[in-house]
Structure 1
Amino acid sequence: MTLPDPAAEASSPLGRRERMVLAAIAAALALLLFWLRGGLQPQAPLEQLARRSPELPLALASGRPTVVEFYADWCEACRSMAPAMAALESEHRGDLNVVLLNVDNPRWSPEIDRYAVNGIPQLELFDRGGHAIGRSLGARSRPELASIMTALIEETPLPPLAGVGSLSPLTGGEGPGTGPTTPAQAQAGPRSHA
């Protein structure tokens, strides 16, 4: 057993008691930070979906229908729709791809422009061949999402829901699968809050 060295304690600016108090405060702050960041809770459904989302080119070339959701972390409608999207994505895994593209990530700027995203959530709907066949604007309930996904998988017409429509085969010369662009679409971007 070694005895404390009085010379070493004298040279230390903090005594043993002060070091213990500082260690306890540091541990309490670490626990508080851990708790504030969610502790051991699993990620929210939106983050789970985004993390397991396949790359867009791979999804479109997979031979499965694809739903592309343009979203943002701060979007309450996107967050409220996420549990249903996550559940349906799990149910249809292998039959359908779900790809999430965050409008706040500059990496997706070309896709935001290509698909004329001017509000979120916006779903772009693709057939098995990777061709854009429809679009859904705004938040969707689980039954609405299920009917959209079922129509894509079964290759039947999209359901007649407000804000859901098929895309015209005429693209206005903007490139394949871009769909028509209206003056309203050209006015504001998804981050403009217009």
Structure 2
Amino acid sequence: MTNNWSDTTTLSTRVRNLLIALGAIAISITIFLGLQTDTPSLSLEAQAEEATSLEVALRSEKPTFLEFYANWCTSCQAMAKDIGELKQTYGDRVNFVMLNVDNDKWLPEMLQYDVSSIPHFAFLDQEGKPIASVIGEQPRSILDRNLQALAQNETLPYESKQGARSSLESAKPTPSSKSEVEPRTHGR
């Protein structure tokens, strides 16, 4: 009888081990195939690598969506998925350009588009002329409607027009007399 019980236990152990091995193989195949899918990466870094270069965009005669970003920017990272999906929708009609503000190469463009904070988005017409800009984390719906209008050469429904600015030089008060105390003299 001991021999019969030993054979049953051995058979049960073998079946259990076989089921565990088959389960492990099935899980491994599922993970492998999941990693091999053709879904594009929507990370900020991956999008920057796949973005249209500024030079190509400005010569393409298509409107351009220009994003000034940084890898450390949490708002930029938070918007990466939405912008990646919008690129899939509008990428055939609108250039998507990404310029990293940490790269000194883009300093002239940062000055040209008055980038003072990020994310900073500029919308350019087919000739590469700026139409509008928006600054900061934007809801997907706002960007979607702006990109739709940009692709159709229509007025953007959500745009931030920048008004006149005062220069620091002209804002400095001039003393009315020499006896007045100026801040830098500290009363001397």
TM range (shorter): 0.5 to 0.7
Alignment of 1:97-176 (within 5 A): 97-160=95-158, 164-166=159-161
SS of equivalent residue, structure 1 residue 99: strand
* Higher alpha-carbon Rg: 2
1:182 to 165, 179, 186: 165
The answer to whether the 8 Å contact 2:90/2:148 transfers is no
How far is 1:53 from its partner?
Answer: 1.1
The answer to whether the 8 Å contact 1:125/1:132 transfers is yes
How far is 1:183 from its partner?
Answer: 4.6
How many pairs does the alignment contain? Answer: 131
The one-character-per-residue Cα deviations of 1:154-181 (angstroms, maximum 9, x if unpaired) are 1111113xxx3246xxxxxxxxxxxx77
Percent of aligned pairs with the same residue? Answer: 34
Question: Which residue of the partner structure matches residue 49 of structure 1?
Answer: 47
Structure 1 runs of 4+ aligned residues shifted over 6 Å read: none
Query: Unaligned regions of 5+ residues in structure 1, if any?
Result: 1-38, 168-179, 185-194
The one-character-per-residue Cα deviations of 1:68-106 (angstroms, maximum 9, x if unpaired) are 000000101101111010001011122001100000011
**Superposition TM-score, scaled by structure 1 size:** 0.61
- Structure 2 distance, partners of 1:50, 1:80, is 15
CA separation of 1:51 and 1:61: change in aligned 2, threshold 3 A? same
Question: Which residue of the partner structure matches residue 67 of structure 1?
Answer: 65
- Structure 2 distance, partners of 1:101, 1:142, is 20
**What one-letter code is carried by the residue in structure 2 that aligns with 1:84?**
D
**What one-letter code is carried by the residue in structure 2 that aligns with 1:86?**
G
**Superposition TM-score, scaled by structure 2 size:** 0.63
Q: CA RMSD in A?
A: 2.4
The one-character-per-residue Cα deviations of 1:106-159 (angstroms, maximum 9, x if unpaired) are 111111111111000000110111111111111111111101101101111111
CA separation of 1:146 and 1:70: change in aligned 2, threshold 3 A? same
The answer to whether the 8 Å contact 2:42/2:84 transfers is no
More helix by share: 2
**What one-letter code is carried by the residue in structure 2 that aligns with 1:165?**
S
The answer to whether the 8 Å contact 1:116/1:181 transfers is no
CA separation of 1:93 and 1:181: change in aligned 2, threshold 3 A? same
Query: Unaligned regions of 5+ residues in structure 2, if any?
Result: 1-34, 168-188
**What one-letter code is carried by the residue in structure 1 that aligns with 2:122?**
E
